[in-house]
Amino acid sequence: MEVLIILVPLALSLGFVGLLGFLWSLKSGQYDDLDGAAWRAIADDEPASDHGRSK
């Protein structure tokens, strides 16, 4: 059962990292346009020659 000493903090810190990730994504506005995001995921990539930046 000594393995708990490693596993429990590990599990908790992974959970905490997940939470931080969620808070970051919320803050950076990734939930502002859920309809658009759903389509962006399956949209074709822009051809590289079209414009340098893909938005």
10 part of the interface to another protein, by CB under 8 A: no
The SS3 of residue 1 is coil
Of 3, 6, 34, 48, the residue at the interface with another protein (CB under 8 A) is: 34
Among 2, 6, 39, 49, which residue interacts with another protein (rule: CB under 8 A)? 39
The binder of another protein chosen from 6, 32, 48, 49 (CB under 8 A): 32
DSSP, residue by residue, 3-50: THHHHHHHHHHHHHHHHHHHHHHHHTTTTS-HHHHHHHTTSPPPPTTT
Q: How far is the CB of 22 from another protein (least distance, A)?
A: 5
